[in-house]
Structure 1
Amino acid sequence: MSELPFYLAAFAVVLGVLIVVHEYGHYVVARLCGVKVLRFSIGFGRTIWRKQLGRDGTEWAISVFPLGGYVKMLDEREGDVAPEEAHRAFNRQSVGRRSLIVAAGPAANFLLAIILYWGVFMHGSNELLPILGTPPNGTPAALAAIVNGEQVRSVDGQPVATWNDLRWLLLRTAVNHASADLEIVNERGEIAVRRLYLAAAGEQGWEGDALERLGVVFFRPQLPAVIGRMVEDGPAARAGLLPGDHVLALDGRPIALWHELVLHIREAADRPVRVEFVRDGRTMAVEVIPETVTERGLRVGRIGVAVADGEGAQREVRSFVRYGFVEAGRKAFGETWDKSVFSLVMLGRMLTGEVSWKNLSGPVTIADYAGQSAKLGLDYYVKFMALVSISLGVLNLLPIPVLDGGHLMYHALEVVRRKPLSERAMGIAQQIGISLLFALMAFAFFNDLNRLFSG
């Protein structure tokens, strides 16, 4: 509960920036096309702040419901227009100009994503290297004979520099292909190709962690469970454990490697753990009560110990990745394009039933991810904002009446018919669009609550 204000603030910043950018796109292009803008509002409903600015006296406002915004333009269909200003009405513009104004909102979101990615790629960040761990038995990665410590160089010929690159390329490839060829290099410098079959990624309608179903896990040094540094007065120290103790079992379950110890302790939040270990040739046992901490929204246990240095412990698993101006721009455009296309493909597969509608997220999930990314660091938060900006752009281009895509659909029909749709037809379409949008929002909110209460 103590983190709630932080999560809400992180969400509010993302939402506020994306709404302002989207509506400002409409505003700027409307002004460039000579259309008079009457109102620029962030939010809907009762106005809580307003101010008139500019030569046209445009009213800038903030309203009580902040999940959206709008730009109100001079329009003869919505009220009386003075004859001397008729040429500045939205409805008097050519279909091309009207389409430009409508498309400018989503375009602004895509442009923002490009700028954000561009900045992050130029600034650089510490990224996990694409080093693979031992896959669980029976998974596609295990069947592909992947070995702990192998580093991926490319996926189907596309270079891989970071773990995030690997995750993204595998997800994108799994949507349309049955397999992917991973070029890997092992710790001896030997290069090989592993063919990874991808059908398991979508077995549950893409719900949950697709990489986990493929058995693609991050590298774990094969280190014995020997305690090294300890937190002074931590749970392990209070229980009597000492550096050099070799842990044999936890709660009666044999432990061979350090990562097994870590996983067991993480799952033991709020309950005591019996630790059997060897010290100076003698087998001993103590009871440790892990302290509970919140990590990425999950409650996990910790006992305040680190692994003793050993062979493999010093392997570098992170790298500082930075791109030059041109390369960062190229990568930013590519990232925005790829994620836009991927979003459309996944939406299409939701409609055909190939992808579960449980993947649809609403404001609660977005707020949770906003808070988590902000806690991880500015680069993660900026990347998250770019991703949500892309999603907002794609969503607004869907051909649903009341959305920008719906208006573009009206304009396309107007070109084909050589005349605008009737007011009655547009009114009916608007009602259908509002109903669809509310149904979509209700379903997304239901998914949020389901995740919140069922985990």
Structure 2
Amino acid sequence: MMSSPGFLMTVLAFIAVIGPLVFVHEMGHYLVARWCGVRAEVFSIGFGPEIAAWVDRRGTRWRIAALPLGGYVKFAGDMGVASQTDPAWLALPAAERAQSFPAKSVWQRMAIVAAGPFINLAFAVLILGGLAMTYGAPVSEPVIGRVAAGSAAEKAGLKPGDRIISIMGRQIDDFRDISSIVSLRPDELLPYEIERNGSRFGQDIAAGARIEKDRFGNIYRIGLLGVGSSTVKLQPVGILEAPVVGFKQAVDVTRTGLDGMGQIITGRRPVTEMGGPLKIADISGQAAMMGGASFLFFMALISINLGFINLLPIPMLDGGHLFFYAIEAAQRRPVSPQVMEWAYRSGMALLLSLMLLVTINDLGSFGLWKSLSRLIG
């Protein structure tokens, strides 16, 4: 049985995950901004009081702050860390004004803002590709390992050891390919090609249906064949193939995250499954105890989530800025300061509410509320 990582290990592991990912994210903004000729005034890892700081020859103040829950790059012409435009930028001398963020074209500003999330996604692909090249890529062959009693597969006569060659004429290379086809087609008769004891034959099979109902009363019918995989093998991955494998794995993680978010929104999964910084810290410690590969894989997952969340069209996040820049590009004038102010206040309220919610969930997952209820009772 694996021992608990302990408080110190958990804190250090959390910093080791979040610190590099925040640095990579902000470095994306910083490098594209430099390429566009924008001067960065502050590059901060973390918020709050400074632990260490220095100023480079370009006048950028690099700082490490006490709260490692994020970071920011403050560009010339920004009013604060949220990249709201400072009206005073118009009064700057011409040379300085040319190096400010608001002076750049809307496409340059969009590129600078988008660079952070996208470099997080690229960083995850790099990690996943490196792990695949080092340890191999997990491949679950489409060979049936078990058949659930009373399932559609049992009724169709499928047996352990059968290999699914194709469904609807689509080649099946991995066991997960079966679910991606069947889950969308409950009770639908589909043509299968199956290999059994070296011989191939065709058979039409209709998957069963699992019924789910969301909080709005919508009914979902999900196809269920009722088979399980046999074994998972590690397939060697070459250096040229590694980025492709890493990209595919990142897409799978993103798709799973989107599906989970959709299920939480519709009520098919409880809101309590949403986790925050405390939960990330807890899992960071556990991943560190499991070894370097597990820790790097977890870092890749968090990097994908960080990139994806920042692309959501919520004011205060990169996606919110991109949304307003897209409106500016379409109408050929900036969004009014009043609308921007309202949007940023709303975005801040939403983010604080979400932070409160996930913190409550995190504390609940640690058993705090149950312990308090026992003390009160």
Candidates 254, 257, 268, aligned match of 1:343: 257
1:175–1:434 distance in 2 versus 1, CA, 3 Å: farther
* Partner Cα separation in structure 2 for residue 321 and residue 438 of structure 1: 44
Match of 1:40 in 2: 43
Alignment deviations for residues 332-363 of structure 1 (CA, whole Å, 9 cap, x no partner) = 22333343344345434544445543442223
Give the equivalent residue in structure 1 for 2:136. Answer: 125
TM-score, length-scaled by structure 1: 0.64
What SS class does the counterpart of residue 86 from structure 2 fall into?
Answer: coil
Matched, 1:78 2:86: yes
Secondary structure, aligned partner of 2:366: helix
How far apart are residue 113 of structure 1 and its match? 1.4
Which whole-Å CA distance do the structure 2 matches of 1:198 and 1:58 have between them?
61
Give how far 1:107 is off: 0.8
Given that 1:102 and 1:408 are in contact with CA atoms closer than 8 Å, whether structure 2 keeps it comes out as yes
CA contact (8 A) 1:184 1:194 kept: no
The answer on whether the counterparts of 2:213 and 2:268 sit within 8 Å (CA) in structure 1 is no
Q: Give the equivalent residue in structure 1 for 2:115.
A: 104
Paired with 1:191 and 1:102, the residues of 2 have a C-alpha distance of 54
Corresponding residue number in structure 2 for 1:329? 243
Distance 1:177 1:449 in 2: 40
Give the aligned partner of residue 68 of structure 1.
70
Residues 147 and 368 of structure 1: CA distance in aligned 2, closer, same or farther (over 3 Å): farther
The 5-angstrom pairing of residues 251-262 of structure 1 reads none
User: Which of these residues, 136, 144, 149, is aligned with residue 137 of structure 1?
Assistant: 149
Q: TM-score, normalised by structure 2?
A: 0.76
Partner of 1:31: 34
Q: How many residues end up aligned between the 2 structures?
A: 344
The answer as to whether partners of 1:174 and 1:201 remain within 8 angstroms in 2 is: no
Specify which of 327, 331, 355 is matched with residue 413 of structure 1: 327
Letter in 2 for 1:24: M
Q: Which amino acid aligns with 1:378?
A: G
> Gapped runs of 5+ residues in structure 1?
206-212, 220-316
Query: What amino acid maps onto 2:54 in structure 1?
Result: K
Cα-to-partner distance string for 1:77-119 (whole Å, 9 max, x where unaligned): 4375541311111011111110000000011011101211221
Segment of structure 1 superposing worse, 29-38 or 327-336: 327-336
Could you tell me which residue of structure 1 aligns to residue 316 of structure 2? 402
Measured after TM superposition, the shift of residue 373 of structure 1 is 3.8
Q: C-alpha displacement at 1:32, in angstroms?
A: 0.6
Query: CA deviation digits over 1:382-428, x for unaligned, max 9?
Result: 23222221111111010000000000111112123321122222111
Partner SS, residue 325 of structure 1: coil
Going from structure 1 to structure 2, the CA distance change for 1:371 and 1:200 (only over 3 Å counts) comes to farther
The letter for the 1-side match of 2:25 is: H
Computing the radius of gyration from Cα coordinates, the structure with the larger value is: 1
CA contact (8 A) 2:214 2:268 kept: no
Relative to structure 1, the CA distance from residue 214 to residue 176 in structure 2 (aligned partners, 3 Å threshold; closer, same or farther) is closer
**Cα contact 1:177–1:198 (8 A) shared by 2:** no
Q: Is 1:93 aligned to residue 137 of structure 2?
A: no
Name the aligned partner's letter for residue 64 of structure 1.
Answer: A
The counterpart of 2:60, out of the listed 58, 61, 74, is 58
1:386 is paired with a residue whose SS is helix
**Does the 8 A contact of 2:146 with 2:159 survive in 1?**
yes
Letter in 1 for 2:277: P
Q: Secondary structure at the match of 2:32?
A: helix
Superimposed CA distance per residue, residues 297-320 of structure 1 (whole angstroms, 9 cap, x where no aligned partner): xxxxxxxxxxxxxxxxxxxx5644
Match of 1:444 among 323, 344, 358: 358
Mapped partners of 1:343, 1:100: distance in 2: 25
Determine helix, strand or coil for the equivalent of 1:45: strand
Offset at residue 19 of structure 1 (A): 0.9
Q: In structure 1, what is the equivalent of residue 19 of structure 2? A: 16
Supply the distance in 2 between the matched residues of 1:146 and 1:10 (Cα, whole angstroms): 46
Aligned-residue offset at 1:159: 4.4
Shifted more, 430-439 versus 175-184: the winner is 175-184
| More helix by percentage | 2
SS at match of 2:334: coil
Q: Secondary structure at the match of 2:316?
A: coil
Q: Could you tell me whether the CA contact under 8 Å between 2:4 and 2:286 is conserved in 1? A: no
- Measured against aligned partners, the alpha-carbon deviations of 1:200-259 in whole angstroms (never above 9, x if no partner) come to 496799xxxxxxx9865565xxxxxxxxxxxxxxxxxxxxxxxxxxxxxxxxxxxxxxxx
Counterparts of residues 281-296 of structure 1 (less than 5 Å): none
**Contact 1:397–1:404, Cα closer than 8 Å, also in 2:** yes
In 2, Cα distance between the equivalents of 1:368 and 1:197?
39
Letter in 2 for 1:78: D
Q: In structure 1, what residue type is equivalent to 2:61?
A: E
Shift of 1:9: 3.1
Whole-Å Cα distance in 2 between the matches of residues 141 and 384 of structure 1? 35
Partner deviation per Cα, 1:273-319 (whole Å, 9 max, x = no partner):
xxxxxxxxxxxxxxxxxxxxxxxxxxxxxxxxxxxxxxxxxxxx564
Asked whether the 8 Å contact 1:174–1:199 carries over to 2, the reply is no
Label 1:78 to 1:379 Cα distance change in 2 as closer, same or farther (>3 A).
Answer: same
User: What's the offset of the Cα at 1:2?
Assistant: 4.2
In the TM superposition, what are the counterparts of 1:210-249 in structure 2 within 5 Å?
Answer: 217=228, 219=230
Compute the displacement of 1:177 (Å). Answer: 4.8
Give me the whole-angstrom Cα distance separating, in 2, the residues matched to 1:175 and 1:396: 30
